[in-house]
Amino acid sequence: MYPRLYVARELLAEDGAIFISIDDNEIGQLKLMCDEVFGESNAIANIIWEKKFSPQNDDSSISTTHDYILAYSKSKVAWKPNLLPRGESNLTKFKNPDNDHRGLWTSGDLTSKTKAANHSYVITSPTGKKHTPPKGRQWAPSETTFKRWLEEGRIWFGKDGNNVPRVKQFLSEIQGGLIPMTVWRQEDVGHNQSATQELKRLFNGESTFETPKPVSLIKQILQIGSNKNSIVLDFFAGSGTTAASTLELNADDGGNRQFITIQIPEATSEKSDVYKAGFEDVFELTKERIIRAANFLREGEKEYQGDLGFKIFETVEDFRVEENDKELTLSNLTMFDDVLLTEEQYQTLLITWALYDGSELTTPIHDIDLDGYTAHLCDRRLYMIAPDFSSNALKALLHKLDDTDDKDFDPNKIVYYANSFDSVKQMELNEALKSYANKKSIEIDVVVRN
C-alpha cells in the first residue's frame, strides 16, 4: 500500500485530494502511512460512512455499521472543498410566514458562547417581554448590530411576537451550498444494500459484486473534491463505481470530468457472484459496468448527450527482446520472415512512443494517408511504423509538406521504426527530408527507433 500512496501523491495536482475507503481493521495503520506520505498537516478529515442501516444478527460482538473514508490533500493551502448542493430536505425548513420581501428564510440561534463586551443586554419583544441570554451564553451580535438588524426586520419573535428572539437567515443570502461534515448518513449517500441494488438494475437483476460502493457516496466525494474539469483516478476500480459516478455527475452538472480506473484481470472464484454472472475476472465486470452505466445515461431518463466514451489500455510485456549486443529486436523475428508486427504490437508501439514523447493518453492520433501508406500524426509528430513505405509514399509526404492549404499537417518531427525500413529506404527518407526545403518552411527532425 505504501508505494501506491507515494505514487498517488506524486500524481496529485497541487490542489488535489485523495479519499480512501477503509474499515476498522486497517484504519490505524493507514492513518500512520498517510501522515508520513502526505504529511499530518495535509490531513483533511476522517469521515464516517454509515454503510449499513441495521445490525448484523450473526455478529459475535458489537455489530459494525460504518466504514471510514480518510481524506488527504497534497497541499492543504491549495486545496479547498466545494460546498455540497442543498437537497430537498434542507430546503423544506425555509419558509416565509410573514411574507418578507426578501423571500424564503429560516430562523437561527441569536446566542453565542463568545465572551465579548456589549454582548450581554436585555432585548424587549414587541409584546413588552424582556429577554436575556441563557446562562453561560451571550447574544451573538453586539447591541449596536442587534438594533440595526431589528430595524432591518431580521429579528423574529415568533408569530405572536412573544418568543425568544432569533435571527432570520434568508435563502437568497446564505452561501450556495452546505459545508461538508464528517458523518455521512446512509439516507444521504447510500449504503451497501443500495449499492448492490444499483448493480442489479444494470445487470438484469443479477448480483455481480460482493462489496460495491453506492454511486451517491462516490458522487459526494467528487462534489467535494473535484471541479468540472478534474481528472479522477481510481487505482482499485472493482465494480467500476467511480467511473459510473463520474459520468453521472457530469450528466448532473454539465461537467467534463475524465476518469482513469485501474483494475487487474484478477480471476474470480467459481463460487462468487461475479463468476456466476459470467465474468471470469474482475476487469471484465469493471468494463461492462462502465458500458452499461453509459448506456443508461444515454438511453435512460437523463438522455445525456455528453461524452460517454472511454478507452482501454493494457500494460504488456515488452515484445522486443534484448540480445547480448544490447540491441532491441522483435521477439517474433525469424531468419525466414520479414519483421512483422501484429496489430496489437503495432498499436502498443504507437501509443508507447506517443506517451514517451510527451503526449497524453487522451491526445488524438490521426491516420495520415501517404499514397496508400498509413502514417500517424500526434502533436506535430509523424510516426511511421508500417513496413510498406515506398517512393510514392515519400512523394506524397513531400507533397503534403508543400500543400499550404493543408495547415493541419505541420510535423516538426518524423519518427520511423528501423525494423520496418531497410537501409535503402532509410537513406532515401533521410536525404529527401534533409535536402528538401518544403514550402511551409518547417524544420523537421528525423528520428529512427528500434
Q: What percent of the chain has pLDDT over 90?
A: 65
Q: Which pLDDT tens digit goes with each residue over 165-203? A: 999 999 888 777 888 999 999 999 999 999 999 999 999
Report the Cα–Cα distance between both ends of the chain, in Å, rounded: 36
Q: Which pLDDT tens digit goes with each residue over 87-129? A: 766 778 889 999 999 999 999 999 998 788 889 999 999 999 9
Spatial distance between the Cα atoms of 224 and 218, rounded to a whole number of angstroms: 10
Q: Which pLDDT tens digit goes with each residue over 42-55? A: 999 999 999 998 88
Q: Which pLDDT tens digit goes with each residue over 150-166? A: 999 999 999 999 999 99
Instruction: Give the per-residue pLDDT at 332.
Output: 40
- Highest mean pLDDT among 74-88, 210-224, 306-320, 433-447 belongs to 210-224
Spatial distance between the Cα atoms of 293 and 304, rounded to a whole number of angstroms: 11
Mean pLDDT of the chain, nearest integer: 89
| Residue 108: count of CB within 10 angstroms of its CB | 12
Instruction: Give the per-residue pLDDT at 320.
Output: 64
Considering only the C-alpha atoms of the chain, give the largest distance between any 2 of them, rounded to a whole number of Å.
Answer: 107
Q: Which pLDDT tens digit goes with each residue over 213-251? A: 999 999 999 999 999 999 999 999 999 999 999 999 999
Spatial distance between the Cα atoms of 157 and 175, rounded to a whole number of angstroms: 24
CB under 8 Å, gap of 24 or more: what pairs does 370-377 form?
A: 370/394, 370/396, 370/397, 370/400, 371/395, 371/396, 376/350, 377/409, 377/411
- Contact (Cβ atoms closer than 8 angstroms) between residue 327 and residue 338: no
On the 0-12 / 13-18 / 19+ scale of CB atoms within 10 A, 68 is: buried
Instruction: Give the per-residue pLDDT at 43.
Output: 97
- Positive or negative torsion for Cα 133, 139, 142, 147: negative
Instruction: Give the per-residue pLDDT at 339.
Output: 54
For the chain, state the CA radius of gyration.
32
Lowest average pLDDT, out of 208-212, 283-287, 329-333, 357-361, goes to 329-333
Q: Which pLDDT tens digit goes with each residue over 402-426? A: 888 888 899 999 999 988 888 888 8
Instruction: Give the per-residue pLDDT at 391.
Output: 92
Spatial distance between the Cα atoms of 178 and 189, rounded to a whole number of angstroms: 14
Evaluate if residue 57 carries a pLDDT over 80.
no
- Contact (Cβ atoms closer than 8 angstroms) between residue 240 and residue 261: yes
Instruction: Give the per-residue pLDDT at 89.
Output: 67
Q: Which pLDDT tens digit goes with each residue over 358-390? A: 998 889 999 999 999 999 999 999 999 999 899
Spatial distance between the Cα atoms of 263 and 281, rounded to a whole number of angstroms: 10
Spatial distance between the Cα atoms of 199 and 187, rounded to a whole number of angstroms: 18
Residue-by-residue DSSP string for 203-254: TTT----SSPPPHHHHHHHHHHH--TT-EEEES--TTTHHHHHHHHHHHHHT
Instruction: Give the per-residue pLDDT at 333.
Output: 39
Q: Which pLDDT tens digit goes with each residue over 305-363? A: 788 999 999 888 877 655 554 444 444 433 334 457 889 899 999 999 999 999 988 89
Evaluate if residue 437 carries a pLDDT over 80.
no
Evaluate if residue 442 carries a pLDDT over 70.
yes
| Residue 162: count of CB within 10 angstroms of its CB | 13
Nearest to 20 by CA among 50, 44, 52, 53: 44
Q: Which pLDDT tens digit goes with each residue over 12-24? A: 999 999 999 999 9
| Secondary structure class of 374 (helix, strand, coil) | strand
Amino acid at 200: K
Strands, DSSP E only, in 323-380? 328-330, 366-370, 373-378
Instruction: Give the per-residue pLDDT at 326.
Output: 46
Residue-by-residue DSSP string for 44-89: EEEEEEE--SS--TT-SSSPP-EEEEEEEES-TTT--PPPBPPPHH
- Contact (Cβ atoms closer than 8 angstroms) between residue 165 and residue 131: yes
Instruction: Give the per-residue pLDDT at 364.
Output: 92
